[in-house]
A and B are shown apart, each in its own frame.
Chain A
Amino acid sequence: MALPSLTLLGQSLLSGIFIGALYGLLGLGLSLSWGMLRQINLAHFALAFLGAYLTYQLAGAGMDPLATLAVIVPCFFALGALMHWLLARFSVSAFNSLLVTFGLTAIIEALIQWIWTADFRRMESAYGEVKFRVGALYVALPELLTLAMALALSLAVWAWLRHTHTGKAMRAIAEDAPIAAAFGVNVRRLSLLLSGLSAAFAGVAGLALALSYTLAPGQIYAWLGVVFAAVMLGGLGNPLGPLVAGIVIGVSEALTMAFTTPAWAPLVSFSLLIVVLLARPGRI
């Protein structure tokens, strides 16, 4: 086996970091709702794609893709809060939330198909054409934006949970909701807040998808496996976990593709997951 050139290695490394950032961005909301609210929200992927289609639509109407966040984020926040209110209203358990949100995914997929058809949609934007050269390596602006958004959101949520009263109360709810409530924490209000935030993060991930990918409703499911792996590897409810684990998976997949046959790349992410689960079964 011939050794890959340094340029190939560097470019693959960058590619892995960028795709890992997207895994992390997609996994952030999922990890928070799963780890802190005990809701396994499969509809998170459908919301991300709905966000991507809305970005495509608004950008097509002349809006700057980044400016679409001003519309999408508040709408998705409200949608996420509403979803949580419904799940709480009917006391849906963690396992049942998996089934209910799977149903919601199918509904959102059908809605997307009804509005935009099943055909492929590609957002044309000035960002897509911009790339920077760093020595022999290239960095595309959409990927750089994805990394920046993933880093900013993950760090902001981490800081919020660690350094603010609301964040600490949120962690208390995740630890033991009845005890937290006994200490005066408004569990219902904070749960709605966190669900809204998780859905808003899906909307932001949608922007990242629309910037870099051609969209089709059926692709909602293509991200499920690897993002779940990133969320579980990163630790449920840990805001930095999905990003770190996503980058670890992305880089290991990219290096596998650079060194060996690219078909072996998926083996890496799931082998990593198995190793972590075996070595640290209490991780999730």
Chain B
Amino acid sequence: MPAANQSVRAVFGALLALALAAHPALAAPSGPPVRIGSTLALTGPLAATGLVHKIVGEIYVEQLNRKNGLLGRPVEWVLKDDQSRPDLARTLYEQLITVDKVDLIMGPYATANILSAMGVAQRYNKVLIHHTFGTPSLAKYEMQFPAGGLAGDPDNTIPRLVFDALAASAMPPKSVAVVTSKFPSVHFISLGAREAAKKRGLREVAFLEWDFGNRDFGPIAARLKDAKPDFVWVGGLGLEGNLLIDAMRKIDYMPPLHFHLFPAPGPLLKAPGGENALAATTFEEHPPFTDNPIAVEFIRLYHERGAKAGLPDTSVENQSAISFSSWQTLEAAVTGAKSIDDKAIAQWLRKNPVDAIVGRLRWDGPFNYIYGTDLYKVKQNQQGKWVVIWPKEFAASGAHLVTP
């Protein structure tokens, strides 16, 4: 009986539509959009990493809108190019708040630009969630929330982590050379590494500093070759570590172990001489990080989008993961506070942790930083792949520190 079948179908369809509408997780977002404003370094010297954060933000906002947006409203991301310039970031955040009238703001990329945005956020009492602020001691605003997994005292936590990893290896180093850029956010952590090495009784055979933007690493490589350290701490940013490795290879020298603080992970992975290099990370593409289905889906999408955007390296690692975690933080805070009011969001974040793909983020310390512990791990370039080797519970299956 076709007529009876049709009426059954109609009733079933109506019931399904009602059920979908009643279940917020499955309903399409509606109403005026929640506008989130931010800037990123899409051009200028920081653009390589800025692009990573752009791709992640686009993925996250699309995913949000495929679910039910924020509080049932669609999300619109208003993104501007700060050209890697802190002065422009300041102007653009001011513009986002006063002209574009965004509801919420998200942090830009890198310390100096975040500091600029923080000043504006403070002036307008806006919550600022950010991911890449390298100098926590400068963050003196109560409504800024770091989501990058760094402790309030990275000069203590990161060196401790690295030297713990080395001490647990089959051949712990006895001598160390600390070479570092004078760029503020890496320099003070490198000074922490000197202290940590001294406390553990390692002999410091060289301490060398260079100005950010140094082009000639030949003499530094030659001094390292002369000093013969068992372990080199490279307080480098971006390509500096690669330049040093290139210079060392040219004089037929590689130290047994070398750690790079904030490298450009793709180029370091592929660099001849980058084998066995160590670096800090919060996330890599292997269990236990990929035990989380959200992370797995994000990795799939990032590979797809990264390839489409022409990224030479599309693997999810520290930068993309902390970027994703900052968006997770924003979503959790708005959902938890049931509001897009900045004060309500800030209050919620101070009281509640967020389980992000990089681990559990919390903000119950001074100026929303946690001291003495962080979410960082040590990874090593093993056969052209980054694998976490320390702490043991986060290490890739069977992975341990490889010493030549």
Residues of A bordering B, CB below 8 Å: 4-5, 7-8, 11-12, 14-16, 18-19, 109-110, 113, 116-122, 128-129, 131, 133, 137-138, 140, 143, 212-214, 216-219, 221-223, 226, 250, 253-255, 257-258, 261-263, 265-266
Contact = CB atoms under 8 A, between A and B. Distances in A.
A118 B43 contact: yes
Contact of B310 (A12, A117, A122, A254): A117
Q: Which residue, B84, B213, B220, B222, has most C-beta atoms of chain A within 10 A? A: B222
B218 A113 contact: no
A262 B219 contact: yes
B218 A254 contact: yes
A257 B250 contact: no
B223 interface: yes
A265 B311 contact: no
Nearest to A133: B252
B218 A15 contact: yes
Interface string B50-89: 1100000000000000000000000000000000100000
Contact of A118 (B50, B208, B209, B250): B50
B43 A265 contact: no
A122 B208 CA distance: 27
Given A7-B226, A262-B219, A266-B211, 11 more contacts: A4-B226, A11-B218, A14-B218, A19-B215, A19-B218, A117-B311, A118-B48, A120-B48, A138-B250, A262-B214, A265-B211
Contacts, number: 134
Which of B209, B213, B218, B250 has the most chain A CB within a 10 Å cutoff?
A: B218
Contacts of A116: 310
A265 B210 contact: yes
Given A138-B251, A250-B216, A261-B209, A121 B312 contact: yes
B216 to A, nearest CB: 4
B216 A257 contact: yes
A117 B44 CA distance: 11
Give the interface size class of chain B. Answer: 35 or more
Interface string B291-316: 00000000000000000011111000
Contacts of A120: 48, 239, 264, 266-267, 312
Given A4-B226, A18-B218, A258-B223, A119 B211 contact: no
Given A4-B226, A12-B222, A223-B215, A263 B182 contact: yes
B311 A119 contact: yes
B8 interface: no
Contact of A119 (B214, B219, B225, B266): B266
Nearest to B222: A11
15 contacts: A16-B218, A19-B215, A113-B43, A117-B48, A118-B48, A119-B310, A120-B48, A129-B272, A214-B243, A217-B43, A219-B45, A222-B45, A250-B216, A257-B220, A266-B214
A214 B252 contact: no
Contacts of B399: none
Interface of B: 42-48, 50-51, 84, 182, 208-211, 213-216, 218-220, 222-223, 225-226, 239, 242-243, 246-247, 250-252, 264, 266-267, 270-272, 309-313
Contact of B48 (A7, A216, A257, A262): A216
Contacts of A214: 239, 242-243, 267
A79 to B, nearest CB: 22
B47 A118 contact: yes
A33 to B, nearest CB: 23
Contact of B211 (A18, A129, A263): A263
Given A118-B51, A138-B251, A266-B211, A257 B219 contact: yes
Contacts of B246: 212
A131 B273 CA distance: 15
A118 B310 CA distance: 10
The 10 closest A-B pairs by CB, nearest first: A15-B218, A118-B47, A218-B45, A257-B219, A11-B222, A12-B219, A140-B250, A262-B210, A19-B216, A263-B209
A133 B42 CA distance: 43
Contacts of B208: 261-262
A143 B246 CA distance: 12
Contacts of A7: 222, 226
